[in-house]
Amino acid sequence: MEEKIKLHDREFILSITASQIQDAVARVASAINRDMAGEDLLFISILNGAFMFTADLLKRIGMNCQVTFVKLSSYRDASSTGIIKELIGLNEDIRGRSVIVVEDIVDTGATLGRIMDQLTIHNPKQIRVATLLLKPDVFKGKIPVDYVGLEVPNAFIVGYGLDYNGLGRNLEGIYEIV
């Protein structure tokens, strides 16, 4: 694995190795396997960033389960001037089901809050959250994050699904901006 990489105009250094990531993924998977045995389980993966974590996580889930992928579309609301983030692409009926939202990183928790609001209205049996990464120093959300792979400091990171202006998602490790 490269120690230093360049994406566009910025340099990044390796901060979490591929094997540390895989250990974290395994820990999250075994907690889910333990807690969710016997549930009608649906994973909802938030694109784009969570695609790689979702793939590795799902390989380690030992019970029957489904997975679907959704996206957040951002648009400016003319009446409130705020940015509205709407969940698009959810075709499954989640009523009465056990849902696990799969996120790459939870920073302030604002995005997660929006996602939870939009899922709750469909009356699932329960919603849990699994994120590979959490920035605890920035997190202001009220939503409990049930499964956290690794806590990271408040710095901009890329790799393993996370991008910098479109680049870096393919990296096996996680890199921090210099």
Question: 35 an active-site residue?
Answer: no
Site residues for ligand 5GP, 30-59, by CB under 6 A, read 49
Which of 54, 50, 47, 48 lies closest to 29 in space, CA to CA?
Answer: 54
Q: Which of 76, 135, 75 is nearest to 103 (CA)?
A: 135
Q: How many CB atoms neighbour CB 103 within 10 A?
A: 25
Query: 66 near 91, Cβ under 8 Å?
Result: no
Q: How far is the CB of 176 from ligand 5GP (least distance, A)?
A: 8
Task: Work out whether 104 is an interface residue with ligand 5GP (CB under 6 A).
Answer: yes
**Among the residue ranges 4-12, 53-61, 98-106, 122-130, the one whose residues contact ligand 5GP (CB under 6 A):** 98-106
Q: Name the 3-class secondary structure at 99.
A: strand
Q: Which of 107, 117, 146, 163 is catalytic?
A: 107
Assess 101 for contact with ligand 5GP (CB under 6 A).
Answer: no
The nearest distance, CB 126 to ligand 5GP, in angstroms, is: 21
Compute how many residues bind ligand 5GP; rule: CB under 6 A.
15
With binding defined as CB under 6 A, does residue 149 bind ligand 5GP?
Answer: no
Q: In Å, what is the CA distance from 7 to each residue of 52, 109, 173, 178?
A: 19, 26, 14, 11
Residue 7 binding ligand 5GP, by CB under 6 A: no
